[in-house]
Chain A
């Protein structure tokens, strides 16, 4: 029985999940369960994607045609839905990336530790 520390898990910012999913699919086609694993391992076990959020996000991205899907087989011959990035998704990813960088810089600026003068 494994008990993961509650503090290590972060609530995802609204809208960032789509970006994270796109980012994860950059490495190649993947199924839903694989995405959960991938995101968790790549974020150093910090980001735990809820299935109740992941599947709506996938459907949303499908509708926006940022990703496409088809039935395939997993490594252990299970019938699974594979998702892959479309051209549109790739360009959206690039746009989000720069937006994300700006935003994280801005937040980093805001979040610097208080200087002694402030105290």
Chain B
């Protein structure tokens, strides 16, 4: 026999077998007949009579063939015998125990659904390759000031530095610099603000993406004359241009200049996303238009860089190459020489998702724990179910039923339950995926890529298989040890089964209790973190504030660099006129402008030098660095913060008047330490630029000290900060400016009036990014809220499952001990003693569960440390609270069976 035949021999209904074996059978029958005839002839019969007699004796040949073939069975019959009948019986068994079935399926639905969803999310974000060509070769290149304590490591790069890197690098195949920019699309009648990106020629080539239609621009488009081309995002193309297939070649107006559309990016392409880039850059959530950028020789210092490594170049080799290039930079660029910048290489994947990795890993661990608890609970219910069938099982064992058959039955039950739970869980997971995509897209990187794809399908299948294994393994292991004959001998009361089953079920419930404690306590820690974040002292007042942004097109509002900074008279004229109009509106109590706003997702820093002695600096630092922002007068009042000493900016602090600056308390304490640092600060002088740059920047007199504000995140500690009047801004940042208005009007009413007030100055300027200050704060807590909601959900799931588990075990144990309780009653015990007995048992279980969970919780807390803010991983009140919750739930779950057992009458002792 060939191997194939050997393997398939036991499946005789396979067609090719069937045909061949039919031939063989008829050969065989013919041989039989021939032999019979030959024998008869040998015994002396004539050929004719021998043949006739043999045929008669043989009977109906085709009937014999048919009957023999019947023995092979058919595919249908085989499946019928081995699969359908099993399933049929399983369905009947499960229908006879609806409570068990529904509880198990619901349990598994929750466990599998949550787990499949979270696995898909995590695999999409962390494992799925980025949607770029050979994404492993993409690196972000950031400026870095290793010795400046800024709280964030990624810094922008100067345009000149970028040009030198691009000309000298050997490690990178291509690199591109890009910066956020905003564009006013269209003319005066219907201006619309678009969030855009300016990027150098090789931007798209470096990422390795293809356009949906048209083409992308190239290095040649950096030169003036061919640089007025634009690439639209798929979303803008559809929304604003009705997916016009003839869009290529059309001329559109961006910031009052004409640009030719040369391409539309593929659907879903959105690089860079604000949520994926570090805070010091002004990137919008999703870019909508890309235009070429010529690497600027001066002025623009806020470049981000992405590079594609040559094939085979390692991270280390790239690092060395960058060190070599930076040596060139330090030799050749005078203004860079003294600030000693470095460049930092961050793999793109790490850049995009590194920030959320700890959060996702914690959530994944949490959801797997939920799945384990769900499976343990189902296994526990299954054991209970087996136990109620003990008489039937014992009888079957006595009649020769094999344990293998029993195992097959349990397995079929489990498979049915897990399939039902898995299907329902999968449906729930897919529904949840849609919710999650919209809910998480803004603050979770790559969440928009979440779809039900092969990744998620494999994740879900893996989860379902895992559940099936976990659920079936436990009863199988125990089932094989069950002595069915003992059960029968003990009159069906099942000493053997009972002993093992109850012990096992208690152990399972202890496990559930421990797991629940971990999840409840983890959720508790996160809830405390979230509430600390939301109640953190912001340094400003979030209530009743509205903010929006305007962008001024450089063609009508030019900015000119001159010897001591930038000159931007037209922009100042527009902004002060707009502010005047807004302040004149009825109901407006304060209005100011500035940039960047606290908690707006962006921050800026600048080197500076105080007059006199330098403040203490981190070792190796060459120049002090502080947060930097610009503001108008009244911004302090609009934000609801307070001037601690000195005064606010006045209208008189204008372009031509002496330079002034406001610092925060932290800056004052750093520079002029002492008892009343804030008062000391007034009148002192600082300037931007490093101590080594002795000319160029004017000295600014400190006229006021403002309270510390949360700048970038709710969890940061106060950092030194300086605020410069927007009229005296030494840097180029007027392309967009943020307004803050405090009023007692409805937001919609206020906005309509504000719109008119601004249009009165320049009707081509649209409002963008309208938000309340409360929204800004809420957005900043969104990650904490996300992880907290999920973990709290897991905690509740686990708690419910555990209550079911405890109820089952305690109820069962009370049922088993009815006779004993009756006897106790007969001997004089009151209902109260019985109650105590049962509650005591449940408390013992809880005690063991909590002791075990305590250790696990400590480990979980340590692992979650990066997610916590102002809460110790071993926070005693959280731990005690969680223990109380678990204990209360357990007692509640055992009260019902306890109460019914307490009512047992003494005569029960005799009945059973």
Q: Are the CB atoms of B68 and A56 closer together than 8 Å?
A: yes
Q: Binary interface profile of B, 59-73, with partner A (CB < 8 Å = 1, else 0)?
A: 110011101111111
Q: Are the CB atoms of A63 and B12 closer together than 8 Å?
A: yes
A76 at the interface (CB under 8 A from B): yes
Q: Are the CB atoms of B59 and A80 closer together than 8 Å?
A: no
Q: Are the CB atoms of B59 and A50 closer together than 8 Å?
A: yes
Which of B33-41, B691-699, B882-890 is the contact stretch?
B33-41
Q: Are the CB atoms of A78 and B68 closer together than 8 Å?
A: no
A73 CB → nearest B CB, Å? 11
Q: A59-B72, A63-B72 are in contact. Are A51 and B32 (CB under 8 A)?
A: yes
Q: Are the CB atoms of B60 and A31 closer together than 8 Å?
A: no
B28 at the interface (CB under 8 A from A): yes
B328 at the interface (CB under 8 A from A): no
Q: Are the CB atoms of B59 and A32 closer together than 8 Å?
A: no
Q: Are the CB atoms of A33 and B31 closer together than 8 Å?
A: yes
Q: Are the CB atoms of A76 and B38 closer together than 8 Å?
A: yes
State A36–B64 Cα separation when bound (angstroms): 14
Q: Are the CB atoms of A80 and B70 closer together than 8 Å?
A: no
Q: Are the CB atoms of B29 and A80 closer together than 8 Å?
A: no
Q: Are the CB atoms of A59 and B68 closer together than 8 Å?
A: yes
B152 at the interface (CB under 8 A from A): no
A114 at the interface (CB under 8 A from B): no
Q: A33-B35, A50-B59 are in contact. Are A55 and B49 (CB under 8 A)?
A: no
Q: B67 — which chain A residues lie within 8 A by C-beta?
A: 52-53, 55-56
A50 CB → nearest B CB, Å? 6
Cβ-defined partner of B35 (8 Å) among A1, A53, A58, A74? A74
B611 at the interface (CB under 8 A from A): no
Q: A81 — which chain B residues lie within 8 A by C-beta?
A: 24, 27-28, 31
Q: Are the CB atoms of B49 and A78 closer together than 8 Å?
A: no
Main secondary structure of the interface of B (DSSP, over half): helix
Which chain A residues numbered 56 to 92 have a C-beta less than 8 Å away from chain B? 56, 58-60, 63, 65, 74, 76, 78-81
Cβ-defined partner of B70 (8 Å) among A31, A56, A76, A78? A56
State A33–B53 Cα separation when bound (angstroms): 15
Cβ-defined partner of B36 (8 Å) among A33, A56, A59, A80? A33
B25 at the interface (CB under 8 A from A): yes
B58 at the interface (CB under 8 A from A): yes
State A65–B9 Cα separation when bound (angstroms): 10
Most buried by B among A33, A56, A76: A33
Q: Are the CB atoms of A78 and B34 closer together than 8 Å?
A: yes
Residue of B nearest to A70 (CB): B1
What 8 pairs between A and B have smallest CB-CB spacing?
Answer: A59-B71, A55-B68, A33-B35, A56-B67, A52-B64, A33-B32, A60-B71, A81-B28
Chain B residues with CB under 8 Å of chain A are 10, 12, 24-25, 27-29, 31-32, 34-36, 38, 45, 49, 53, 58-60, 63-65, 67-73
Chain A residues with CB under 8 Å of chain B are 1, 31-33, 36, 50-53, 55-56, 58-60, 63, 65, 74, 76, 78-81
Q: List 10 A-B contacts (CB under 8 A).
A: A51-B64, A52-B59, A55-B64, A55-B68, A56-B68, A63-B12, A63-B72, A78-B31, A78-B35, A81-B28
Known: A80-B28, A80-B31. 9 other contacts (CB 8 A): A1-B49, A31-B28, A36-B32, A51-B32, A55-B65, A58-B68, A60-B71, A63-B10, A63-B71
